[in-house]
Amino acid sequence: MPRRNQNASQSGDKPSRRTINTVQSSSAAQCQAKVRYATAEDADDALYDATIVRPDTPLATYQCLQCFGWHLTSRTRIT
């Protein structure tokens, strides 16, 4: 008889829909906390200004998959 309280990671199944929705809403909340730039050019301008203020911090721009706007990041690899 299978266990009823076994979660997806223990059973080897795909994560439940509830887990997927939680991840998506978490990403959306993170996006809303960031400065959003409407265009890549606006983000590049902000990147230039930020490198003057913080020259030791490597920064990059990326297009957000949640809002389709542009953000700055100090991460070296974006997945």
Which is nearest to 61 in space by CA: 52, 79, 42, 53? 42
Residue type, 61: T
**24-65 per-position pLDDT tens digit:** 556 777 888 899 999 999 999 999 999 999 899 999 999 999
Q: How confident is the model at residue 13 (pLDDT cuts 50, 70, 90)?
A: low
What is the per-residue pLDDT for 79?
Answer: 57
Per-residue confidence (pLDDT) for residue 6, from 0 to 100: 54
pTM: 0.61
The β-bridge relationship of strands 70-73 and 60-63 is antiparallel
The percent helix, strand, coil of the chain (3-state, each to 5) is 45, 10, 45
Q: Which 3 state secondary structure label does DSSP give 71?
A: strand
Q: How close are the terminal C-alpha atoms of the chain, in Å?
A: 40
